[in-house]
Chain A
Amino acid sequence: MMGAAALLLLVPGLFGRPTSTAVQDLPHWAEEIARSAPAPAAERDGPDARVLLAETQVEVQPDGSTLVREHRAVQVLRTPAPWAGRHAFYVARDFHVRLCRAFHVPIAPTRREEAVTSFEVVGDFSSFTTDVRQRQLGVDDVRAGSLVFFEFEALGPQPTLDLENDFGDAYPRSLSRYRIDLPPGWNLRYEWLRIAGPEPERTERAWTWTLRDLEHPRPLPLAADPDDLEPILAVTLLPSSRPGQSAVLDTWSSMGTWYEELERGRAAVTPAVRAMADRACPASVTEPWAQIEALARYARDGVRYIAREIGIGALQPRPASATAADLVGDCKDKGTLLRALLAAKNIRAYAVHVHASERDTVPERVPAIGAFNHFVVAVHVPEGATLPESVRAATFDGGTLGRLLIVDVTHEALFPGAASADLGGKRALLHDGAQSRLVTLPDGGSGAHRIARSLEIEVAGADATWIQVSRFVGEPATRRRGEHQRDPAAARRKVQASLDDRWPGATLKEYTVTEELPDGSYEETSSWTTPAADVAASPFPFLDADLPRTSLGKRTRPVLYPHPLSLRYAVRVHGDPEPPSPLAKEASGSGWTVERTWREDSGVRIGTLDATLEKTTFGPEEFETLRKFWAALAAKR
């Protein structure tokens, strides 16, 4: 990831040109909007602006290239609205920008001189080495009631004949329109994602989809990311005959074949790759899981991640031998290197494309390379491999390919093969040439994501000494490992802060961490002292932090936990003359179970709490069962 500050400013232009525009001087499409725009006061509630029109027209040329026109009309709803007068158009590789301009129609004539700034930057916000460009437009001094119009036109080649339109926006949209004009004899197939979208309006060659009154959802705790709710339209173009410069990807299988050609020979086992495999995993290591783990660790830790997305390099991995030589690569480079290393040990592995950040990006019937932004590897698990329990839970049936395990060597805090909340449950493209197909990546269930805490409490006089060993598996381990890798002192402070919150004045004495145990878990040992009276009130003290909750009273959107979870707490209280007398409890509901036990053994009170959360999404109609789950967890005496 990179910050905006790292963007390279390339083409400054049009600074300071007065652009306050009379309605009659606007382009035709904008003039009509300017004359009929509703009064801003009636609609103003929250956002700084509203998009009156967001329109994209794609005119497909017979050779497969596309002429893209974009129109955007923004009505400013409040003063100040610093971002409402700005917009960025992304310029695909090799595209020639033919038109890029903005107009400002203020609510009343003004003496002020508004200026349009226009400049082009190379880069986006996700990778440094890229040739993707943005054309930025900015209109100064917009005020409540201002109308701002943006217009853009570019022509360029289309390496694959698939298109995607994301209807998301930072502002509410009154009208969104997406239109495709096809050459004679061409057809298309489309699919809506995230919504049951409308049918297109058809003419002989034009397809137009229209959405009205789109709102940008607000972020909520324990909820889907607002970006995951924005409608997407995926389209695959079906030419009358294959154009020379564009690949036709009309099925996922054809995309698999296309990719197979693209990466042919790049996962080859060269002498350099074989030497690297032998360094990472000596011949003495023969157990299959030990081999997979050693090679995956090598690819994860030994190759520095740097995205390099120049030209076809955005899609095509570099040869494994090149990555092995300079030890630098992005997800597809690192993953391809891993495939080659595994091949050197006769372990099969397959490329997998997935979206690492957003959900519900993959259409079932309309292949789209834009559905993915990440590359991981599906490793065949040989018979007899002794996988750790948490990793075993994350394997899945690959059909004719056998038992498979997803390994993501880009994520430096993710144990090889461990289930990842970023990937679990997502549709992904498993590459196997013409047999390539969509699969659902496993979330591993509650067995793959666990938090186990073992707490020994020694009461002596007025004080109690607490010693806790916490072990995290799966996503809880990945998250904590990442935090500890980034800043060990901050990780310690976080534990101290949880003590401050629960037992003000208690100071963390011992704090040790093992970032990655052989089974992939993260272990943390800590100790502290409190007044003895605090023992009774806190039989399972970290429950709230391990399983966050939220307010349900006014909630209308589902509660979404990032992954299934298993909790296991064991508490032993020694020497308390007045031990608490908690009750045993067993409860269960749709997607959850809770079991609590308490007993006494030779003067030691022993309590356990076992809870599982298999279900991760609770709609409003299921809030009652969620409340019961939370209530059952509540630690009472």
Chain B
Amino acid sequence: LSFLERIDLQQRWPVRNLRLRWRPFSGEWGSAHRIWNPAAVNPEVAQDGRVFRLAVRDVPAFEREPFMPPDPQVRPSVALYYFAEDKDARRYWSQRAADEQEQMEAFFEDDASLRETVAGWKLPSEMDLQEKLRHAFNWIGTHLRNLDLATSGEVRPDLAAVEGKERSARHVLAEGEGTTWELAALFAGFAKVLGAQAVPVLAPDRTEQIWDVEVPAPFRFDEVLAGIRRDSKLMLSAPGRGLAYGEAPWWTTGVPALLPGGIIQVPAPAPARSLQEASGNLTFPESDAAQIQWTSRFSGQQALDLRQNLAHHTGAALQERLDALCGSGGKGEVERAAAEGVDHLGEDVKLLCTVLLPATRTDEDEEVGGYEVAVIGPWAPSPPDFEGRTERRHPIVFPYPRVDTARIEVAAPAGFVPAPGPVTPVVLDTPYGRYKLAITRTDNGFVVERGYALTALSVPAKEYGAVRAFFDGIRRADRAKVTFVPAEGEE
């Protein structure tokens, strides 16, 4: 048993009887237990001196669902843990936060290279402190490489290893690269030089685990954010993640995080901060194939997701991922797939795709009829997939609110014109998000404009039907096609 052992009380299969008996180590450590989500299993608990007993009977299988909360948040389980000295959780976490702060300060303290770097920026003395901090934050994004997100194959020397010393801010600046934690600590160091106080904010990845503040036992926080205190507010940032100043990675949002002196809830990002904008042209360079070229610009959390997707891949593996993003698994043939800005954290990320679409003649004998082509594809992300589930047990939790837009100009094949007839726009407006698809006929083709905003972060299970209906509506609309008919005199 480690310091904390979590034991699931509900398994992937039904359980008739589960009995647990725990006799803790009798050394100088204290021991305790905590039961999470007991309602579904009604555990019987008994404490007999040092021995802890728990029993559950006739427990149904635990079923995982797409977009469910992290497993520990919904699955019945018991945590058995040891604690040192006393079991006061507040004191325990307070000490944990103080230790982190000490470690971070050790990383940049007495480091002349920080002061030299800041001096090199030649910031006007009258510049607002927040602007100076924003400058420092952006400088990290544009000048340093985050090793946790890198796709470059370049190897740089490990200076700390050469010197036989612990890594510090100086090494990160000299090497031009560092881990996410090191970049956060570096930013804290810059903040101190600039006259602000930065504190480490420790956050769990909410897709994987929950942090229970009532359990004073070691816990692996997944992310460290830099918190800048200003008046009574705390500005959270994630240096080296490619997000804007003042934003935190989506997997840390909506749940509590730890900092020296307290606990805060990391705010969810606004939908418009996480944008994907696609624009492109669909043409018919050959009689039996259409070609679409588009560029998608990713910003905010969407850029972060894309960087994470491509991180640590180079060569053929990277190209495979890019091809997949351009739709290589579908019916089209990806001719070109490339990304720009992945390693430059100060920029948005661009995905550039050229894809040949399959034959689209509406009449295979090619004597009459015309062309028909689907106008929604990988350039417009699909709504969430619930894998065929018609019922729901757990709440739905989306990664983050987002906005996707796409504008595609479809040019008529030579000798053809847009088919006549009205093209009715589709508009869906729900508490969970909005969608609009407008197809406008032009002299030489169509302009397709699609907008999709997911505004909800979490939805109760009882509203699953309504959420699913919203996404079904989008899928139906996304099957839209445009048709071209022979121009007069061309038949």
Contact = CB atoms under 8 A, between A and B. Distances in A.
Interface string B356-378: 10110111110000000000000
B155 A44 contact: yes
Interface in A83-122: 106-112
A110 B162 CA distance: 7
Contacts of B233: none
A144 B155 contact: yes
Contacts, number: 105
B335 to A, nearest CB: 6
B155 A145 contact: yes
B387 A493 contact: yes
Interface string A484-507: 000000001111111111001101
Interface in A586-637: 631, 634, 636-637
B161 interface: yes
A634 B155 CA distance: 49
Contacts of A494: 388
- Size bin of chain B's contact surface: 35 or more
Interface string A32-48: 00000000110011100
Interface residues of A, number: 46
Contacts of A554: 323, 334
Interface string A141-164: 001110000000000000000000
Interface stretch (B48-56, B188-196, B311-319, B482-490): B311-319
Given A46-B315, A145-B155, A504 B165 contact: no
Interface stretch (A325-333, A350-358, A380-388, A545-553): A545-553
B16 interface: no
A634 B161 contact: no
A505 B390 CA distance: 10
A583 interface: yes
B333 A551 contact: yes
A493 B359 contact: no
B364 A636 contact: yes
A500 B359 contact: no
B473 interface: yes
Interface in B397-423: none
A427 B165 CA distance: 59
Given A504-B475, A634-B359, A143 B331 contact: no
A496 B390 CA distance: 8
Interface string B300-335: 000000000000111111001001000011011111
B334 A553 contact: yes
Contact of B388 (A78, A496, A550, A636): A496
Nearest to B313: A46
Secondary structure of the B side of the interface? loop
Given A106-B161, A493-B388, A553-B335, A45 B358 contact: no
A145 B158 CA distance: 10
A218 B158 contact: no
Interface string B118-148: 0000000000000000000000000000010
Contacts of A107: 157-158, 161
B335 A634 contact: no
B27 interface: no
A107 B469 CA distance: 58
A494 B165 CA distance: 56
Given A108-B161, A221-B329, A40 B155 contact: yes
Interface in A419-460: none
Interface string B464-490: 000001011111100000000000000
A108 B162 contact: yes
B164 A110 contact: yes
Given A110-B161, A497-B387, A631 B333 contact: no
Contacts of B334: 551, 553-554
B333 A504 contact: no
Given A143-B158, A144-B158, A505-B469, A46 B359 contact: no
Contact of B320 (A77, A218, A492): A218
B154 A549 contact: no
Contacts of B365: 583
A507 B476 CA distance: 14
Given A40-B155, A79-B147, A493-B387, A109 B314 contact: no
Interface string A227-238: 000000000000
Contact of B316 (A218, A508, A583): A218
Given A45-B314, A109-B161, A501-B475, 8 more contacts: A41-B154, A79-B147, A218-B320, A493-B387, A493-B389, A508-B390, A585-B364, A634-B359
11 contacts: A41-B154, A44-B153, A46-B314, A46-B315, A108-B158, A112-B161, A143-B161, A218-B316, A494-B388, A500-B475, A505-B472
Interface of B: 147, 153-155, 157-158, 161-162, 164-165, 312-317, 320, 323, 328-329, 331-335, 356, 358-359, 361-365, 385-390, 469, 471-476
Interface of A: 40-41, 44-46, 77-79, 106-112, 143-145, 218, 221, 492-501, 504-505, 507-508, 549-554, 583, 585, 631, 634, 636-637
